[in-house]
Amino acid sequence: MTALTVNQAPSPGTTIGRNPIGLFLTDVWVLTKRSIARIRREPETLSDVTIQPVLFVLMFAFVFGGAIGGVGRSGGGFDYHSYLIGGMLGMSLAQTAPGTAVAIVSDMETGLIDRFRSLPMSRAAVLTARTIADLLTQVIGGIVVALVGLAIGWRIHNGAGDAIEAFALALLFGYAFTWVGVCLGMVLRSPEAAQQTGFVLFLPLTFISSAFVPTQSMPGWLQPVAEWNPMSSLATACRSLFGNPNPAVLVHAWPVQHPELAVVCWSLGLLAIFAPLAIRLYGNKVR
């Protein structure tokens, strides 16, 4: 504490320039590194894309699988383990969104977002970095689901190109939902509220869909809801691209017949609404 020279003018060459795109990329990089450092310090924060998908795949395959597959078999029969993975991919990626919301709310609670907002940094960078870090965790989630799938007998039948397309669609879909999570985080006031709201929103999204059961088994009034659910589009697209059992081919609804296009439309639509909304909310944040 002697001879404190904390605040002298900076020497030349120690600050970076003012090119807005360069600043944005620097800020995103610095903040993404921050999120990754957090994961390295506390790997258990990854449990929602590691342990959870493993548990879900195994539970659905071995607890519900017999019952669901049995019903299917009597009406023509299909291999539930192979059917399951397309849906699991969607669920595992979309369900990281509540985690995104929790992370944003926590940063707001500690005042860290206020600090960021008082710095000469790009306004979109804080949220963009969050979504990029979450996209990286989604990649891990996708790999975990695929590995467990391979272990229970799921296989890719249509070649690498289609498989890559399926994973890319799943990540696009997951990334779009991350921005929904960011918006949730901007409007909710506590991590608990974010967790619970996320659960309430994502449970029907996941289960009123063809992620785990063919929509044909649902009551007639519920079928259109499930058929237009983006989660169904993703599950159907993945099944079709992987060459897995796909009872949805018999359904005539547009998003079921054009699942890849439906996933792209849903994802871009969500991004077009929620990304600008999130950045706007961030700029106007009042607490």
Partner 1 sequence: MSDVPAIKADGLVKHYGKTKALDGLDLTVPLGTVYGLLGPNGAGKTTAVRILATLLRPDGGQARVLGRDVVADAAAVRRTIGLTGQYAALDEYLTGRANLIMIGQLSRLTARAARQRADDLLEQFDLTAAASRAVKTYSGGMRRRLDLAASLIGRPEVLFLDEPTTGLDPSARALMWDIVRQLVADGTTLLLTTQYLDEADVLASRVAVIDGGKVIAEGPPAELKASVGGQRLLITLADESDAETAARALAPFATAPVIPSGADRLIEAPVIASDGLATEVVRALDAAGVKVTEISVRSASLDDVFLTLTGHVAEDKTTAQAGQTAKEAVQ
Q: Of 236, 227, 100, nearest to 169 (Cα)?
A: 236
Query: Tokens at residue 136, please?
Result: 């990286």
Residue 115 neighbours by CB distance under 10 Å? 10
Q: Does 1 bind partner 1 (CB under 8 A)?
A: yes
**List 23, 140, 193, 253, residue binding partner 1 (CB under 8 A):** 23
| Residue tagged 């007998």 (tokens) | 153
Total of chain residues touching partner 1, rule CB under 8 A: 38
Instruction: Select 15 or 74, whichever has its Cβ closest to partner 1.
Output: 15
Q: Does 42 bind partner 1 (CB under 8 A)?
A: yes
CB of 107 to partner 1, least distance (A): 8
Sign of CA dihedral 175, 179, 182, 184: negative
Of residues 104 through 123, those in contact with partner 1 by CB under 8 A are: 109-112, 114-121
**List 38, 73, 155, 280, residue binding partner 1 (CB under 8 A):** 38
Instruction: Select 24 or 64, whichever has its Cβ closest to partner 1.
Output: 24
**List 24, 25, 26, 258, residue binding partner 1 (CB under 8 A):** 26
Q: Does 41 bind partner 1 (CB under 8 A)?
A: yes
What is the DSSP code string of 201-256?
HHHHHHHSSTTTS-GGGS-TTTHHHHHH-HHHHHHHHHHHHHT---GGGG---HHH
How many CA within 13 A on the CB side of residue 59?
8
**List 6, 74, 76, 221, residue binding partner 1 (CB under 8 A):** 6
Q: Of 142, 135, 143, 155, nearest to 241 (Cα)?
A: 155
Helix 230-242 to helix 259-283 angle (10° resolution) is 130
CB of 228 to partner 1, least distance (A): 39
**List 19, 21, 32, 34, residue binding partner 1 (CB under 8 A):** 34
Q: Does 264 bind partner 1 (CB under 8 A)?
A: no
Give the residues lining the site for partner 1 (CB under 8 A): 1, 4-10, 13-16, 23, 26-27, 30-31, 33-34, 37-38, 41-42, 109-112, 114-121, 284-286
